[in-house]
Structure 1
């Protein structure tokens, strides 16, 4: 998810703003280390019999993103659905690898999870709680009460509902892109027999490439959905971006 651009006065930063920025940078670095860099290095460099061996290397490598997810839960005290699903996905990848199942099952699993998100986004449009409000239109990003009041004042609530539907299609598209790229990446890279050092190296390479190959294109589409929704809100409420964003 992308953060909305919040206009701030940079000419007079207070000391209080600096630790927050440093913490965010540290959090991103720790995220990359635990979820991508360390697992990749373990799978590609330590899977030989002289080091951890193929199965133990998988267990150790996958322990890092799992530990990060547990740490995040204990730190915030809240169970994030998407983080939980990510941990489950890691368990499945590890289990399939240790059981030496055909790599095609990993490819199917890699495609299925974002595919399910995209399908759930579309299905949720038929419910009272469309997922677009979780992803984009929520009170952590926008002053939703203020937006709702302005929509009612201008009589543009129906037009906004259509905009939410269009944004949902864009979100579903981002998940579809992720699903296709996940599957293609797994099929192209995982070609060696499971239980071999070469397979672990391929698994590590897939982990390393998952961010630039999968996350970046999907994030660009998600950003497009966010930009579209912001423009529609401004158009239908006659409010400025500064008026509707949450200021922190």
Structure 2
């Protein structure tokens, strides 16, 4: 059986392994009487790092976002283990979404803008039907402009993430790296980043999808159930 085709999103497991368990280890098991600052940091980072590698190896599918996540974990571990200045943590936290946002902008100069690749593709939408109806209504050029606008909106969501990550890291992580206090503050930052950054970014991305759908509806007259991709082709 092809493992690529059987892979299904598991958001609750992702959340547990990447955020909840590492945060608990950093905040509760990093004291000198437990794992210690270094042991706690290594144990906490092992969960998202191991999970990310497992996903990449098992499903053999290159994922740019997953790769950035692995790099982010390794950089965080390096900052803690080598006891670098806290400013590098704030820079790292801002750099990862900033790099993604930059990649989104660069994609607009290629034949495959991000929104078009992720959302306007045969796996999600009935692209052939939509393109045919757009051609009938002489609306193809207008729709391409709206796709470009949607891509800019996605880039803005990553700019928001980068800014909030930097502010959160500077606000919460004030203790020197290599101390139990640093690990605890790192755990707090990881926990807070989900409701304060990830959820608003998700809302923005849902707004982009709604904007794309409304554009298709207004330019083609097709209903949602008519444009969604069907499994039997």
The reply to whether TM is greater than 0.5 is yes
8 Å Cα contact 1:177-1:217 kept in structure 2: no
Q: Equivalent residues in 2 for 1:201-240 (5 A)?
A: 201-240=184-223
CA distance in 2, matches of 1:209, 1:135: 28
CA distance in 1, matches of 2:110, 2:11: 34
Which runs of no fewer than 5 residues in structure 1 stay unpaired?
A: 1-19
Determine the structure 1 residue equivalent to 2:163: 180
Aligned-partner SS, 1:195: coil
Aligned-partner SS, 2:108: helix
Q: Equivalent residues in 2 for 1:145-184 (5 A)?
A: 145-184=128-167
Q: 1:165 Cα deviation (Å)?
A: 1.4
1:81 aligned to 58, 64, 75, which one? 64
Determine the structure 1 residue equivalent to 2:174: 191
8 Å Cα contact 1:174-1:218 kept in structure 2: yes
1:36 aligned to 16, 19, 30, which one? 19
Determine the structure 1 residue equivalent to 2:53: 70
Determine the structure 1 residue equivalent to 2:80: 97
CA distance in 2, matches of 1:28, 1:131: 22
Alignment length (residue pairs): 225
Structure 1 position 136 matched with structure 2 position 119: yes
Structure 1 position 45 matched with structure 2 position 28: yes
2:224 aligned to 229, 235, 241, which one? 241
TM-score of the two chains, using structure 1 as the length reference: 0.86
CA distance in 2, matches of 1:35, 1:195: 21
RMSD: 1.5
Mean Cα displacement is larger for which, 120-129 or 209-218?
120-129
2:101 aligned to 118, 126, 151, which one? 118
Mean Cα displacement is larger for which, 66-75 or 56-65?
66-75
Deviation by residue 1:113-158 (Cα, 9 ceiling, x = unmatched): 1112212222221221211223332222211122112212221110
TM-score of the two chains, using structure 2 as the length reference: 0.92
Aligned-partner SS, 1:217: helix
Aligned-partner SS, 1:126: coil
Mean Cα displacement is larger for which, 142-151 or 220-229?
142-151
Determine the structure 2 residue equivalent to 1:17: none
1:55 aligned to 38, 41, 53, which one? 38
Which stretches of structure 1, 4 residues or longer, exceed 3 Å deviation after superposition? Answer: none
8 Å Cα contact 1:174-1:221 kept in structure 2: yes
Determine the structure 2 residue equivalent to 1:9: none
Which runs of no fewer than 5 residues in structure 2 stay unpaired?
A: 1-5
